[in-house]
Chain A
Amino acid sequence: MGLDIRTPIGLMFAIVGALMTIASFFLNTEIYHRSLGINVNFWWGIVMFIFGITMFFFGKRDSSTVKPTAESAEGLKIEAEEHRSGVEVDTKNENE
């Protein structure tokens, strides 16, 4: 349950990295004059792709996800405090 942030980050970097690497084969090499003759698209694309895959893998493997207030100990304490001090009325019923 929940969304692990590493999954979307991994996915995004993997896609962008792959696109850059692939694009580097089709782009005119003259544009690398700017980057001191280094094919940054190719190399940095690969780096980003590897980073993305690693993040994605860890995101899937173990889960460190955000829990809704109702399931987190610290979140429940805050809700209890709000009701005790009277800044908020009970909402349990409205949620159901």
Chain B
Amino acid sequence: MLIYFVFVLGIGFALKRYMKTSTDFFLSGRSIPAWITGLAFISANLGAQEVIGMGASGAKYGIATSHFYWIGAIPAMVFVGIFMMPFYYGSKARSVPEYLKLRFDEKTRGFNAISFAAMTVFSSGVSLYAVGLLLGSLLGWDFNFSILVAAVIVLVYVFLGGLTSAIYNEVLQFFLIVFGFLPLVFLGLRDAGGWSGLQVRLATVATSNGFAPGAWSESWRFMGDPSSNPMGVEWFGLAMGLGFVLSFGYWCTDFLVVQRAMAADSMSAARRTPLIAAIPKMFFPFLVILPGMIAIALTHQAGQSGFALPAKPDGSLNYDMAIPLMLGHYFPTGMLGVGLTALIASFMSGMAGNVTAFNTVWTYDIYQSYIKRGASDQHYLWMGRMATVFGIIASVAAAYVATRFNNIMDMLQLVFAFVNAPLFATFLLGMFWKRSTGHGAFLGLLSGTLAAAIHHGLTLPKGAFVGIKGGWFGHLHTYPSEMAQNFWTAIFAWTTCFIVTIVISLLTKPREQEELRGLVYSLTEKPSEQHLLWYKRPVTLAAVVLFLTLLLNIIFW
């Protein structure tokens, strides 16, 4: 673990001398090869909510959790690479909010920049909170001390090397996570008697919870009706809410991931970034969900296996501990160090990703736009470093706020549903419908977010109480699970934003077509990729990725 920390900081120092301009610091001088940005693309997302949250969902819902990947992330990543990247990269925008300004107007950008900045600080705080919790429960470190160590390390390497340093460290963290978790999956599966052995064990888990035997090991078969699968959702809510609205909203518009692709060294490298990322991403369920599934299977035979998930004070199982405890169960001294380091690395990469996105949006979209315009490049570089310090301090504060909420995953889904879900409708219309206008986009976003809040305020998941779970306006409808409620909140938000944007756009004056060149699909030349080798062409890559994903869906149907 010490060796890892030394290397992380070493990369920061080694890159310090290359950080001469603000473009170096925020966009890596736009000079990074596609395979590096590609790995950073998924690694930035691989924070606490991914590793701990997906492991926890694997235990709670079984293989159905893979929908987050095989119907959610992958199609969205293909879409952003093929259709949206030409506008992000080609428009010379330096951030996602800046694209909104070029395409629509100042107020749309301001709304997005501010809500996004708040969200990154919150997510980075959650990562930090997870580090503190983990080091506390596994190594007995003090919560405050753990948070401080992690925050200072991230601060130093981002402060020194900017985005390049964050991206380099994300690649390092990516390999560390793969190497730290692979033996866990291998040992766990071997212990459970392979995939077929695990299926048998999970069947008893399913029947004892009142579901059909395959509910934990078959991802699609029980999606016909919300009452027959542990997630409590049906196929339409799943495909539209998670697959279309939430996943596309996240992977296509979240600057945290898009920033990685924007650092690529050419248009085709930028387009390949999410596609290269999709290949390891589609196998991540085996790395993070399977250990959770094995954990619940072992817990059900605690007598023989000697492994059990701990219970929370209210009697339900503490699913968030699935992955950390599995590491402790299977790894001996030595390997355990690597496994824990991998876990901490994932939290730090998640945090660093948020911090770099935050300092860029703050400096370019808030500071340079509204506070101090037309200063020297050195001044903005300095501001970026200050924003890094401020972002980390705010994350530490957010981490202490997070100690008050217990379910990380549901909480984040809620925030994404409020802010991100309507956003994808705005981008879709902005990029593919040249008639859409700034007023339309802004009011659409506003009403979409409002619709999400109202929907959340009027509904409740089954068995929950009025409060953070919803229902604070009254109680109109009960969803079978919190997840179903989140998916439907997203669907309502997206639809409202989509319709309001169209109506207002038709009522307001459109912009001159000439101004929209390079920003809208029908007015932009398609990038030619004929000169590239066939396996480097984004479209070929996309076809391969989609085919493999379809195959995985069918195998685990």
Give the interface of A toward B (CB within 8 A). Answer: 2-3, 5, 8-9, 11-13, 15-16, 19-20, 23-24, 27, 31-32, 34-36, 38, 40-41, 44-45, 47-48, 51, 64, 66-72, 74-75, 77-79, 81-82, 86-89, 91, 94-95
Contacts and interface: CB of A to CB of B under 8 A. Distances in A.
B239 interface: no
Interface of B: 3-4, 7, 10-11, 14-15, 18, 20-24, 27-33, 36, 92, 94, 164, 168, 171-172, 175, 179, 183, 187, 190-191, 265-266, 329-335, 338, 368-369, 373-378, 380
B332 A32 contact: yes
Contacts of B187: 35-36, 38, 40
Contact of B265 (A5, A74, A78): A74
A20 B172 contact: no
A86 B374 contact: yes
A78 B24 contact: no
A3 B333 CA distance: 33
B453 to A, nearest CB: 34
Contacts of B21: 68-70, 79, 91, 95
B227 to A, nearest CB: 38
Closest 6 CB pairs of A and B: A74-B30, A72-B31, A91-B377, A75-B29, A69-B29, A31-B332
B157 to A, nearest CB: 12
A2 B32 CA distance: 11
A23 B3 CA distance: 15
Contact of A13 (B22, B175, B376): B175
B31 A91 contact: no
Contacts of A31: 332-333
Specify which of B11, B22, B329, B332 lies most central, judged by the most chain A CB atoms within 10 Å of its CB.
Answer: B332
Contacts of B332: 27, 31-32, 34-35, 40-41
Specify which of B28, B31, B187, B373 lies most central, judged by the most chain A CB atoms within 10 Å of its CB.
Answer: B31
Tell me the dominant secondary structure on chain B's binding face.
helix
B18 A41 contact: no
Tell me the dominant secondary structure on chain A's binding face.
helix
B29 A66 contact: yes
B176 to A, nearest CB: 8
A66 B332 CA distance: 39
A85 B4 CA distance: 43
Given A35-B187, A44-B183, A91-B378, A69 B24 contact: yes
Given A66-B164, A69-B20, A12 B33 contact: no
A6 B210 CA distance: 50
A8 B7 contact: yes
Given A35-B187, A41-B334, A70 B20 contact: yes
B335 A67 contact: no
Contact of A12 (B4, B31, B368, B373): B4
A95 to B, nearest CB: 6
A8 B172 contact: yes
Given A69-B20, A78-B92, A35 B335 contact: yes
Given A70-B21, A88-B368, 6 more contacts: A35-B331, A48-B179, A48-B338, A64-B33, A87-B368, A94-B378
Given A34-B329, A91-B378, A16 B92 contact: no
Contacts of A51: 175, 179
A29 to B, nearest CB: 9
A47 B164 CA distance: 28
Contacts of B92: 77-78, 81
B335 A41 contact: yes
A68 B3 contact: no
A89 B15 CA distance: 25
B374 A68 contact: no
Contacts of A82: 23, 377
